[in-house]
Chain A
């Protein structure tokens, strides 16, 4: 039988096997870039919402506590999204004829829920729980950023697994006193702005973090089953 391939294809095929290693590595590299990219994580992208609800106005300007609307954040895995009734507790009188708020009034009249678009969402195979983070001294702003300065809600962190793990390995770097959880303007202790906790003044996060780890009995949870259960 006549030879189908010329002898030189031997070298070619060897080369391409060698090259495949780089090709696959390259693919992996690109994939890891893509999933970290803003295109995939939608970080910093404000979602279109049925009503242009502004945390800057409500939480920042009016100083309304997060828990006025996100009522279950301290006790449940789910932070809670306010029902239309909560909006109407003020908007029955304030801006009561504003066209922007017509969807709110329509929802109240017709008893149809407002359908907000989710901004933060971890995959369903991940278990996330707000209450534990709040109880152990992780502030809203650590994960959600300065919500009180956002005209439209956007994501400030990737919510990728490496982000969760990064903190779970060293929680002491991100802990704050429980009294400061809802304080959006809280800043970690520094020499110029010390943080007072139980009468002691701290100028370094390392010192404060160590005390809080002890006081709140915080563990470093990195076992897969913590989040994938």
Chain B
């Protein structure tokens, strides 16, 4: 009798175990918890957005926009011509990266306004290398990114103000690059021109390295 009871009990335990295992496969409560992950749809709010818009006038912590130069590119109603913070080499590199991400699709990487999207039918943006834009104050570029211009949408939700200044600084660098002479390069740096592909970490053999005598005199693309 004892053994039969033990058998029955172990049978029940096994069956329970198996059922628990099977059931575990069905309950997904832990996998979809009643909380909002980023952008998850909401049944509570009428517009189905769990990410709620800010009440007008809200100032997020640390984002009080009191520095007019930094946030509007203007001082006393005039566009400023110098960045509101010193631009270092790292800032320029960051500006280049952000330019290639956000601007190059239309403006192309050299700034002539011939990006792939423009080639597919978007209105061609003006080249950065026309006199009007060469003469424009730096704040103009910042302002265009912040508020949009013509067919171009504003970038204020996608690019931070600091990055917009870095991009503006990089655009200046692009403009200089199109009418620069070898003599503009500091003497100590000149020999680097011959080693450009290596410096840009292009695998050896992928780009023909120009021989020293043919170093670019005046870059024109």
Contacts and interface: CB of A to CB of B under 8 A. Distances in A.
Interface string A5-32: 0000000010001001000100110010
B100 A65 contact: yes
A71 B198 contact: no
Interface string A106-142: 0000011101000000011100000000000000000
A33 interface: no
What band does the interface of chain B fall in when counting residues whose beta carbon is under 8 Å from A?
A: 35 or more
Contacts, number: 93
What band does the interface of chain A fall in when counting residues whose beta carbon is under 8 Å from B?
A: 35 or more
B109 to A, nearest CB: 10
Interface stretch (A85-93, A209-217, A218-226): A85-93
Contact of B41 (A64, A94, A115, A125): A115
Residue of A64, A88, A195 with highest tally of chain B CB at under 10 A: A64
A207 interface: no
B33 A124 contact: yes
A160 B208 CA distance: 45
Interface string B30-42: 1111010111010
Contact of A124 (B21, B32, B38, B122): B32
15 contacts: A13-B7, A17-B7, A24-B18, A27-B21, A68-B102, A85-B153, A90-B105, A90-B117, A94-B117, A94-B121, A94-B122, A123-B32, A198-B201, A199-B201, A201-B203
Contact of B30 (A62, A93, A94, A125): A125
B48 A115 contact: yes
A28 B100 CA distance: 51
